[in-house]
Structure 1
Amino acid sequence: MKIFLVKLPIYIIDLIVISVALYYSLIRSNFPIHMLQLEGYDNDEYKTFLKNNKEKMNKLVYKLDKNQKTPIVWTDRAKRLLKKHKIINFIFFVIIVVISLLLFDITKSYVLSAFSTIVFSFLVYFFQYRILILTNMWAKPTEDKINMGFYNSAQAKIKKFKEERGLKVLGITGSFGKTSVKFISNTILSEGLRVKNTPSSFNTPMGLSKIINNELESNTDVFIAELGAKMPGEIHEVAELVQPDIGIITAIGPTHMHLFKTIENIQKTKYELIEDLPEDGIAIFNYDNDYVKPLADKTLKKTYRYGTRDFEKLDIYADEIKVNETGSEFMLHIKGVGEIKCETKLLGVHNISNILASATAAHVLGLSLEDIQRGIKKVEPVEHRLSLLPSTNGTIVIDDAFNSNPVGFRAALDVLREFKDHRKIIITPGMVELGDMEICENRKIGEAMADVLDFVILVGKKRTLPIYEGLKNKKFNEDNIYRVSSLAEATEVLAKISLPGDVLLFENDLPDNYNEE
């Protein structure tokens, strides 16, 4: 009893300090959990984020922003992770109490014991983002087991529907364009078939498993699956899940280069879709793309090539193309079938390429030229992909905020060129995830922008420096270049310079796990 009374002040101090520290540590952990979620719960990717965002993570106080572009989603996995993280924190604080009591036993100093509790509690609080790595390592085996259960269930369901009900699966991959082709295909195929599409950019095994398990119905004729990958082997994993009968490679270019390292690795990874098609499967290729063309030429399975040039080598193509600020029209040709004039609300020649991919799949699945024509006319722009937005001040706003790449960026500039009698303004943070090519490609895009734009607003002074240099290389008027630190500042500049009739392009929108440098 006497020992207890002697140590009572230590117990009280430890209880107060650790209770406060535990409470605020768990609040502090929400932000790193959000970043880990954005990195797909991948510890390696999360560590790269930490390395690139030291200033953000070393703040004494950081919290979730209510205006996050992609707010944290408290999925079952996130809740399980938080629960384990609470246990990890509790263990650390138990260790701190033990250290505090041992120090008191050795030194008989209340001050030293209390000081150790405060210091170690602060360290646990401060390094929540590092402790989360341990939590995620502990959680991974359980999550892998849960995920495999969902995966196996979805895989079995697809197999059953294919065998018993004749379900066809259309798989779509590519460095870019795959989400647009997915939504365009959904609209066109719906002219004659019952189609199930996946929302937004659902292209991972777990995202697709969720849709298959919860939403795929037995009367579906065609399931459209977008297949994403950030490293070799990931397309194989998704293809084994959805079991595609038809595969489309939309385009290949320098995206996720910090992971893939080379274009050749991207080509091999995207081609996994074609390798996983059955012997009687059908492969569809964008023959306009220089990195896709050799993949088409080496394929022994039934192959369709689409494009807007080299017509003699193509199975489906478009000519007599006319594009303007309200959409496009063109003549669609299907060899051995015929031709038909089509019109679309989509902006830009590159969207005609996306339409051709979907038209090819529709032809393969038995739709007539007239069905395809009607579907093309009904296609609506995909959100954040060169879509026109309503404006209250007379400006014309083009939203191309979805993850930009060199080809897509130039396509957006080509669309701007069609607004011939308008001043043209861009707001952009530049391009990311291009690896060693990032500085060079941003400098090149700056040079390309100089020939099209009247005003340039660059978000992130450090990251957009190569674009700024490219603009200067082309003698662009520096008075019309605005370098700001945030989208809020960009909006303020825009309010000062824009006039009714101006065309404003929002090109790329960095996700929350990137700094606006």
Structure 2
Amino acid sequence: MASLTLMEIAQLTRGKILSGNHGRIFSGFEFDSREIKNGDLFFALVAQRDGHDFLLDAYRRGAKGAIISRDVTPPHSDFGLVKVSNTLQALQDLAREIRKEKELKIVGITGSLGKTTTKEYTAALLSSQFSVLKSKKSFNNQIGLPYTLLHLEENHQIAVLEMGMNHRGEIRELTTIAPPDVAVITGINPVHTQFFADLEEIAAAKREILEGASPGATAVLAGDDRFCLRFAQNWSGPVILFGQSPECSVRISNLKLEGWGGYSFDLIYHREKIHLRLPVVYQSYVYNFAASAATASVFSLSLEKIQKTASTLKPLPNRGEVIDLGDGIHVINDVYNSSPPALEAALDNLSPLPARRKIAVLGDMLELGVEAKKKHFQIGQKLAHLGWDLLLTVGPLSYNFARGAFASGFHPHQVISVDKAKEAAEKIPSLIQPHDLILVKGSRRIKMEKIIERLKQDFQGGKN
């Protein structure tokens, strides 16, 4: 991490030191008081909660200073306080200045789906040859991206950063902190539709990663996406397309689902080709891998290193990971989030897998605006047409899954509807039989992880 004195931090954030030793050195930075380590600097961010209310907690956990925007009493006479007009802006300014001091290549990744998987796979591939910093978890917003940059080490050569948004202008702001040298767009899909009139508006918001890229940046774009193809045509710099279409220089072909063993496929890597296998049950993981390989090709990573790293890749936690409960029972843990295109793809991808019965445990899909009920209804219809056997809905919007399923031939005994994930967690264990497949998926705020925890407890004794 960067090592800065309190005076340097005050200068870079345009703040005023109120207390503490001006020469005290800080090399750890946190905005969550629960994550504080001894000697850290705490950013009192003002969001849903006011970080100033947790200053004392941060001090008790070892913080030796804080960035604040309102007057507070220092918890100790030697505690460093720097007052700024806006603590979030100070976090971003500090990250921006630290990034400027490094000889560092920035890989920025955005898209409607698959950002985190692409980020993780890209970082894994590049780490076979370079020292790589990557975004923690899904830290992809105005807080998470600068926070990641504050963890830069002297030896880092590449930063792989996820750039998310649910409003226009948010990605543009992120690119002012870290202008990408490689700008990756995984595709444009109808998510966050509550905040956008149509796909054109979503595409325009995602295009901001290109508009804010460094001069001469390479665009890595989904070659099967009409919006990305339009971006490619208008991009003046180098372009690498990935996907299945013949125009893609990094291309997936001969894609085949090998049961619970995952997908096998050929990867065409510019002028080379290799046969690979990924232990995943969602096709999207293969496309995310293609995006990662295309990004790696910008840095001239050899196909041999890509092959070696590919053998280590797995599904990300809570994003389509397969949990074996024994007796041939497989749970698809996809509780991180949900949207219409992602859920439709999940139902399609899982339908061919061998199972005695297929059970969908589905929570509300949020941020869909006026289309919410309609989208849930349509997916309920799709689920019935694909031949799924049971449906357990969680939340008020999800009852529309049931309505759609009934409209397409489901019978009342095939559907259970509850209001909360806790209720679903109590019901689901008794429904499961040997050789069942159970998909558990919903938006984050529905807390579908409670269902996964209950299944692990009942069938595995709580083991991961």
TM-score (norm 2): 0.77
2:401 counterpart of 1:476: no
Residue in 1 that maps onto 2:264: 329
Residue in 2 that maps onto 1:427: 361
Q: CA deviation at 1:495?
A: 2.1
2:124 counterpart of 1:187: yes
AA aligned opposite 1:441: K
Give per-residue Cα distances to partners, 1:181-229, cap 9 Å, x unaligned.
001111111122211111111011222222212x211111210000011
Residue in 2 that maps onto 1:49: none
Greater gyration radius: 1
AA aligned opposite 2:439: L
Q: Secondary structure at the match of 1:285?
A: strand
Q: Secondary structure at the match of 2:116?
A: helix
2:137 counterpart of 1:200: yes
Q: Structure 1's 472 and 292: CA in aligned 2 closer, same or farther, altered over 3 A? A: farther
Give per-residue Cα distances to partners, 1:7-62, cap 9 Å, x unaligned.
xxxxxxxxxxxxxxxxxxxxxxxxxxxxxxxxxxxxxxxxxxxxxxxxxxxxxxxx
AA aligned opposite 2:176: E
Contact map agreement 2:84 2:90 (CA 8 A) in 1: no
Higher helix share: 1
Q: Structure 1's 144 and 437: CA in aligned 2 closer, same or farther, altered over 3 A? A: farther
Q: Structure 1's 422 and 73: CA in aligned 2 closer, same or farther, altered over 3 A? A: farther
AA aligned opposite 2:130: L
In the TM superposition, what are the counterparts of 1:262-277 in structure 2 within 5 Å? Answer: 262-277=198-213
For 2:241, which of 305, 314, 321 is the aligned residue? 305
Q: Structure 1's 295 and 435: CA in aligned 2 closer, same or farther, altered over 3 A? A: farther
Residue in 2 that maps onto 1:398: 332
Aligned residues: 383
Residue in 2 that maps onto 1:223: 159
In the TM superposition, what are the counterparts of 1:496-515 in structure 2 within 5 Å? Answer: 496-511=430-445
Contact map agreement 1:394 1:499 (CA 8 A) in 2: no
Give per-residue Cα distances to partners, 1:434-456, cap 9 Å, x unaligned.
12222221111111111141110
Residue in 1 that maps onto 2:110: 173
In the TM superposition, what are the counterparts of 1:252-271 in structure 2 within 5 Å? Answer: 252-271=188-207
Residue in 1 that maps onto 2:184: 248
Q: CA deviation at 1:346?
A: 2.2
Q: Structure 1's 494 and 137: CA in aligned 2 closer, same or farther, altered over 3 A? A: farther
Distance across 1 between alignment mates of 2:293 and 2:228: 18
Deviates further, 293-302 or 227-236 = 293-302
Distance across 1 between alignment mates of 2:51 and 2:322: 40
Distance across 1 between alignment mates of 2:112 and 2:256: 26
For 1:453, which of 370, 380, 388 is the aligned residue? 388
In the TM superposition, what are the counterparts of 1:1-16 in structure 2 within 5 Å? Answer: none
Across the aligned residues of Structure 1 and Structure 2, the Cα RMSD in angstroms comes to 2.7
Distance across 1 between alignment mates of 2:85 and 2:333: 37
Q: Secondary structure at the match of 2:265?
A: strand
Q: CA deviation at 1:260?
A: 2.4
Distance across 1 between alignment mates of 2:186 and 2:87: 32
AA aligned opposite 2:96: Q
Q: Structure 1's 144 and 439: CA in aligned 2 closer, same or farther, altered over 3 A? A: farther
Residue in 1 that maps onto 2:64: none
Gaps of 5+ in 2: 1-31, 36-42, 56-68, 73-82, 449-464
Distance across 2 between alignment mates of 1:198 and 1:83: 25
Q: Structure 1's 230 and 377: CA in aligned 2 closer, same or farther, altered over 3 A? A: same
In the TM superposition, what are the counterparts of 1:100-139 in structure 2 within 5 Å? Answer: none
Contact map agreement 2:421 2:447 (CA 8 A) in 1: no
For 1:411, which of 345, 348, 362 is the aligned residue? 345
Residue in 1 that maps onto 2:173: 237
Distance across 1 between alignment mates of 2:274 and 2:326: 38
Distance across 2 between alignment mates of 1:268 and 1:433: 18
Q: CA deviation at 1:496?
A: 2.2
Contact map agreement 1:190 1:375 (CA 8 A) in 2: no
Distance across 2 between alignment mates of 1:242 and 1:194: 18
AA aligned opposite 2:95: A
Distance across 1 between alignment mates of 2:432 and 2:51: 48
2:310 counterpart of 1:369: no
Distance across 2 between alignment mates of 1:343 and 1:454: 30
Q: Structure 1's 143 and 293: CA in aligned 2 closer, same or farther, altered over 3 A? A: farther
2:92 counterpart of 1:155: no
Q: Secondary structure at the match of 1:389?
A: strand
AA aligned opposite 2:402: Y
Distance across 1 between alignment mates of 2:211 and 2:406: 46
Q: CA deviation at 1:334?
A: 2.1
Q: Structure 1's 459 and 137: CA in aligned 2 closer, same or farther, altered over 3 A? A: farther
Contact map agreement 2:355 2:436 (CA 8 A) in 1: no
Contact map agreement 2:251 2:269 (CA 8 A) in 1: yes
Q: Structure 1's 156 and 138: CA in aligned 2 closer, same or farther, altered over 3 A? A: closer
Distance across 1 between alignment mates of 2:192 and 2:84: 25
Contact map agreement 2:372 2:397 (CA 8 A) in 1: no
| Higher relative contact order structure (alpha carbons within 8 Å, sequence separation ≥ 6) | 1
Distance across 2 between alignment mates of 1:398 and 1:496: 18
AA aligned opposite 1:373: Q
Q: Secondary structure at the match of 1:415?
A: helix
Q: Secondary structure at the match of 1:182?
A: helix
Distance across 2 between alignment mates of 1:474 and 1:486: 25
Gaps of 5+ in 1: 1-70, 85-135
2:290 counterpart of 1:356: yes
Contact map agreement 1:184 1:355 (CA 8 A) in 2: yes
